[in-house]
């Protein structure tokens, strides 16, 4: 090893630029597959979507420039307004409930007791469940005549509810199933965050004899804040991108009460063949997600620093 | 921990487990029931009959769907591992002009939701003639910013001395990448592999768009088809389909839960 080091030629002034050029080419070569794929399947279609949003278009492509008319049209259309309302309500129903549930389960399983591994595996299991499979199961559970929810309602003496056919309940029903579907992922992330907290902090707290709640408020939650912040943002973005459970459980109905934004884009583009309007909605979705991610990077950066 | 506290903790844990696992348990249970038992609203089947499992393969070409899902998930997994690890390697071990700019490009892809770009992507796949083929189901997903960051995080923990030593020994960068970096990063690669297999097996919207023939469909679309066909007639068969589709990913998750948790937290937070 030492011999080799002595033999190592000191880079001379002539060979430096050559080596730099070589590193430059090699570096880009390693990145080329990613850059090409991102170019073709992420950046190009994003600009194309923005472009199409200014046109009347179908699946063949644009055919008439209309400026901002697509935007004016969707903003004033009842369908889009109900879609915005459904999306916002869906976010409000699923994000806080989902995170509280995951946090609760993660706090429970952060204790070191026998058999805790089994519970951890069970609680994370919905992460292995596909949206399609979960939705089919929940569809059965919501079945008004034989589903488990009707059985419970019947047992308690309430009338059976048409969960998915009633515009007052459909979004709530879809949200409940979504909270369950997303619980596994949020749980795994939060548990990971809890396990990263320095155990010395708890030992000190134990010596000082503080209560569990005090410990939770003064140590656990502040130390967990970067993780919580991350999962809040991701849950928001996921909620904006919901599609599968809507497609299987309600198809956006009844009376568009569950027509969340991605389902609305899908319907306009692939069923109504109105690609211009779908693109305008996609641009709006893009800006919502952009705002959330930018917020996360900006605030997340600050939070991680003082940890 | 004092005994009373321990008992109450176990009680809460068991109750939570029962509630959280109920839908999965329910699906398993229904999958063994005949029509009458399902209609009767029973919780448990009277016998463990496998009739529904045999029947579901006759109702839809489930074997083809399973094969399609398996092959596409495996291809995407391999593609993502290769493309992401190449990029991560360049970010950690090669210093060159423009690297920060490319890094910024990678970050910005995370701000673009896949659903916002699906219409032009669908048109691209259509004009390439890749609908109803493995190409259309796999190639668009090969590059993954999250995967690159996750591997980059791990590559950064590999001592730079190792790299310098390889340079001294005159090993080319690619051989160093292939023979040294990839083997020592095995655990991160497995984590990312599990993650990509899971996500691709469970993908719904994209296969729905780019496949419309029975020979090209994946299991998730097969489930939708099964549910639309069989609704009201035979839930036992539908649930047998559900169980077959979720078993591989559940087993994968059970096996890799610890790794996944560690990897996701690392890739996500840092």
Q: What is the pLDDT of residues A56-85, one digit of tens each?
A: 988 888 888 998 999 999 989 988 999 999
Rounded CA separation B8/B30 (Å): 32
Q: What is the pLDDT of residue B1?
A: 66
Q: Beta partners for A56?
A: A64
Chain A residues close to B246, C-beta within 8 Å? 128-130, 133
Give residues 196 to 235 of A whose Cβ lies within 8 Å of B: 196, 226-227, 230, 234
Q: Which of B115, B257, B262 sits opposite A265 (nearest CB)?
A: B115
How many angstroms separate the first and last alpha carbons of chain A? 41
Q: Which has the minimum average pLDDT: A33-42, A83-92, B109-118, B223-232?
A: B223-232
Name the band, by pLDDT with cuts 50, 70 and 90, for residue A90: very high
Chain B residues close to A26, C-beta within 8 Å? 90, 94, 96, 173
- Residue A252 region by backbone torsions, left for phi larger than 0, else alpha for psi between -120 and 50, else beta: left
Closest-CA residue of chain B to A189: B265
Query: How many angstroms separate the CA of residue A214 from the nearest CA in chain B?
Result: 18
Does the distance separating the beta carbons of B223 and A113 come in below 8 Å?
no
Does the distance separating the beta carbons of A133 and B242 come in below 8 Å?
yes
Neighbours of A169 (CB within 10 A): 17
Give residues 230 to 259 of A whose Cβ lies within 8 Å of B: 230, 234, 237, 240-241, 243-244, 247-248
Mean of the per-residue pLDDT values for chain A? 87
Does the distance separating the beta carbons of A113 and B96 come in below 8 Å?
no
Q: What is the pLDDT of residue A304?
A: 45
Mean pLDDT score, B153-180: 88
Q: Does A140 touch chain B (CB under 8 A)?
A: yes
Q: Which of A31, A132, A278 sits opposite B220 (nearest CB)?
A: A132
The answer to whether residues B176 and B185 touch, using CB atoms and an 8 Å cutoff, is: no
Residue to test with chain B: of A33, A41, A59, most B Cβ within 10 A:
A41
Q: What is the pLDDT of residue A259?
A: 93
Closest-CA residue of chain B to A52: B120
Name the band, by pLDDT with cuts 50, 70 and 90, for residue B162: confident
A126-145 b/e with 16+ CB inside 10 Å = b?
A: bbbbbbbbbbbbbbbbbbee
Higher pLDDT residue, B48 or A48? A48
Q: Beta partners for A65?
A: A55
Does the distance separating the beta carbons of B205 and A244 come in below 8 Å?
yes
Residues with Cβ < 8 Å from A299, sequence gap 6 or more? Answer: A229
Mean pLDDT score, B155-166: 87
- Domain residue extents for chain A: 2-52, 79-305
Q: pLDDT digit string (tens) for A116-139?
A: 999 999 999 999 899 999 999 999
Domains plus CATH for chain B? Answer: 50-269 (1.10.3720.10)
Q: pLDDT digit string (tens) for B5-22?
A: 889 999 999 999 999 999
Q: pLDDT digit string (tens) for A151-209?
A: 888 888 888 788 899 999 999 999 999 999 999 999 999 998 898 888 888 888 888 88
Phi then psi dihedrals of residue A53, to 5 deg: -70, -15
Dihedral sign (CA A165, A170, A174, A176): negative
Q: Which has the minimum average pLDDT: A11-15, A264-268, B166-170?
A: A11-15
Say what the pTM is. 0.89
Q: pLDDT digit string (tens) for A217-254?
A: 888 898 888 888 889 988 998 999 999 999 999 998 78
Q: What is the pLDDT of residue B17?
A: 96
Judge residue A259's burial from the number of C-beta atoms within 10 Å of its C-beta, 0-12 exposed, 13-18 middle, 19 or more buried.
Answer: buried
Rounded CA separation A134/A249 (Å): 10
User: Angle at Cα A79 formed by Cα A73 and Cα A81, nearest 5°?
Assistant: 80
Q: Which of A1, A121, A137 sits opposite B23 (nearest CB)?
A: A137
Beta strand spans in chain A (E): 55-58, 61-65
Does the distance separating the beta carbons of A105 and B16 come in below 8 Å?
yes
Q: What is the pLDDT of residue A240?
A: 92
Chain B residues close to A193, C-beta within 8 Å? 265, 269
Rounded CA separation B10/B15 (Å): 9
Name the band, by pLDDT with cuts 50, 70 and 90, for residue A260: very high
Residue to test with chain B: of A30, A44, A226, A246, most B Cβ within 10 A:
A30
Residues with Cβ < 8 Å from B131, sequence gap 6 or more? Answer: B125, B210, B211, B212, B216
Rounded CA separation A232/A196 (Å): 18
Higher pLDDT residue, B217 or A112? B217
Phi then psi dihedrals of residue B51, to 5 deg: -55, -45
Name the band, by pLDDT with cuts 50, 70 and 90, for residue A8: very low
Mean pLDDT score, B83-96: 93
Chain A residues close to B205, C-beta within 8 Å? 243-244, 262, 266
Closest-CA residue of chain A to B143: A34
Residue A40 has what DSSP assignment? I
Query: How many angstroms separate the CA of residue A74 from the nearest CA in chain B?
Result: 16
Q: Beta partners for A57?
A: A62
The answer to whether residues A223 and A303 touch, using CB atoms and an 8 Å cutoff, is: no
Phi then psi dihedrals of residue B184, to 5 deg: -75, -15
Closest-CA residue of chain A to B260: A188
Tokens of A211: 């209560």
Phi then psi dihedrals of residue A237, to 5 deg: -65, -45
Q: Does A289 touch chain B (CB under 8 A)?
A: yes
How many angstroms separate the first and last alpha carbons of chain B? 33
Q: What is the pLDDT of residue B233?
A: 67
- For tokens 């278009």, the residue is A57
Q: Which has the minimum average pLDDT: A290-304, B75-89, B114-128?
A: A290-304
Q: What is the pLDDT of residue A112?
A: 85
- Residue B143 region by backbone torsions, left for phi larger than 0, else alpha for psi between -120 and 50, else beta: beta
Name the band, by pLDDT with cuts 50, 70 and 90, for residue A301: low
Give residues 75 to 104 of A whose Cβ lies within 8 Å of B: none
Q: What is the pLDDT of residue B130?
A: 95
Name the band, by pLDDT with cuts 50, 70 and 90, for residue A11: very low
SS3 letters across chain B: CCHHHHHHHHHHHHHHHHHHHHHHHHHHHHHCCCHHHHHCCCCCCCCCCCHHHHHHHHHCCHHHHHHHHHHHHHHHHHHHHHHHHHHHHHHHHCCCCCHHHHHHHHHHHCCCCHHHHHHHHHHHHHHHCCCCCHHHHHHHHCCCHHHHHHHHHHHCCCCHHHHHHHHHCCCCHHHHHHHHHHHHCHHHHHHHHHHHHHHHHCCCHHHHHHCCCCCCCCHHHHHHHHHHHHCCCCHHHHHHHHHHHHHHHHHHHHHHHHHHHHHHHHHHHC
- For tokens 């090669």, the residue is B94
The answer to whether residues B227 and B239 touch, using CB atoms and an 8 Å cutoff, is: no
Chain A residues close to B238, C-beta within 8 Å? 136, 140
What proportion of chain A, given as a percentage, has pLDDT over 90?
52
Mean of the per-residue pLDDT values for chain B? 90
Residue to test with chain A: of B16, B17, B20, most A Cβ within 10 A:
B20
Q: What is the pLDDT of residue A153?
A: 84
Rounded CA separation A240/A233 (Å): 11
Does the distance separating the beta carbons of A226 and B220 come in below 8 Å?
no
CATH fold for the domain made of A79-305: MetI-like fold (1.10.3720)
Does the distance separating the beta carbons of A294 and B121 come in below 8 Å?
no
Mean pLDDT score, A16-29: 81
Name the band, by pLDDT with cuts 50, 70 and 90, for residue B268: low
CA nearest B175: which of A28, B159, B153, B167?
Answer: B167
């Amino acid at each position: 090893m030492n011999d080799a080091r002595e033999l190592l030629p000191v880079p001379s002034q002539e060979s430096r630029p050559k080596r730099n050029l070589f590193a430059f080419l090699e570096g880009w070569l390693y990145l080329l597959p990613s850059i090409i794929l991102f170019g073709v399947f992420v950046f190009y279609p994003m600009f194309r979507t923005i472009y199409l949003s200014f046109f009347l278009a179908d699946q063949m492509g644009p055919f008439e420039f209309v400026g901002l008319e697509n935007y004016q049209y969707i903003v004033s259309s009842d369908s889009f307004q109900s879609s915005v309302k459904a999306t916002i309500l869906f976010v409000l129903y699923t994000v806080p409930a989902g995170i509280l549930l995951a946090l609760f389960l993660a706090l429970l399983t952060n204790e070191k007791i026998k058999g805790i591994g089994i519970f951890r595996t069970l609680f994370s299991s919905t992460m292995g469940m596909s949206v399609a499979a979960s939705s089919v199961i929940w569809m059965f559970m919501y079945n008004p005549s034989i589903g488990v929810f009707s059985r419970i309602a019947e047992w308690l003496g309430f009338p059976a509810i048409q969960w998915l056919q009633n515009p007052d309940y459909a979004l709530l029903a879809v949200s409940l199933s979504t909270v369950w579907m997303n619980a596994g992922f949020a749980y795994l992330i939060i548990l990971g965050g809890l396990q990263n907290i320095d155990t010395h902090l708890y030992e000190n707290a134990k010596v000082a004899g503080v209560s569990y709640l005090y410990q939770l408020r003064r140590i656990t939650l502040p130390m967990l804040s970067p993780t919580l912040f991350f999962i809040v943002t991701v849950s928001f973005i996921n909620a904006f991108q919901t599609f599968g459970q809507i497609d299987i459980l309600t198809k956006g109905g009844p009376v568009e009460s569950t027509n969340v934004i991605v389902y609305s884009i899908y319907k306009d583009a692939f069923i109504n063949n109105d690609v211009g309007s779908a693109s305008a909605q996609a641009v709006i979705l893009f800006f919502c997600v952009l705002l959330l991610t930018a917020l996360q990077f900006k605030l997340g950066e600050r939070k991680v620093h003082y940890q | 921990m004092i005994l009373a506290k321990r008992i109450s903790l176990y009680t809460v844990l068991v109750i939570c487990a029962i509630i959280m696992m109920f839908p999965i348990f329910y699906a398993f249970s229904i999958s063994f029931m005949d029509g009458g038992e399902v209609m009767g609203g029973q919780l448990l089947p009277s016998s463990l009959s496998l009739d529904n499992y045999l029947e579901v393969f006759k109702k839809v070409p489930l074997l083809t769907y399973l094969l399609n899902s398996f092959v596409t998930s495996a291809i995407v997994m391999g593609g993502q591992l290769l493309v992401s690890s190449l990029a991560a390697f360049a970010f950690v071990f090669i210093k060159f002009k423009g690297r920060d700019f490319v890094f910024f490009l990678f970050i910005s892809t995370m701000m673009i939701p896949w659903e916002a770009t699906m219409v032009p992507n669908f048109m691209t796949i259509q004009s390439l003639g890749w609908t109803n083929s493995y190409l259309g189901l796999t190639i668009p997903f090969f590059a993954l910013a999250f995967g690159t960051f996750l591997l980059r995080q791990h590559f950064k923990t590999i001592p730079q001395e190792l790299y310098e030593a390889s340079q001294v020994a005159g090993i080319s960068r690619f051989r160093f990448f292939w023979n040294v970096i990839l083997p020592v990063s095995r655990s991160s690669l497995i984590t990312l592999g599990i993650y990509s297999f899971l996500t691709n097996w469970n993908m719904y919207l994209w296969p729905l768009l780019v496949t419309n023939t029975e020979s090209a469909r994946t299991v998730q679309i097969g489930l939708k088809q099964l549910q639309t066909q069989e609704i009201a007639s035979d839930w036992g068969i539908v649930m047998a389909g559900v169980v077959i589709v979720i078993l591989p990913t559940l087993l994968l998750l059970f096996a890799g839960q610890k790794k996944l948790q560690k990897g996701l937290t690392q890739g996500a937070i840092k």
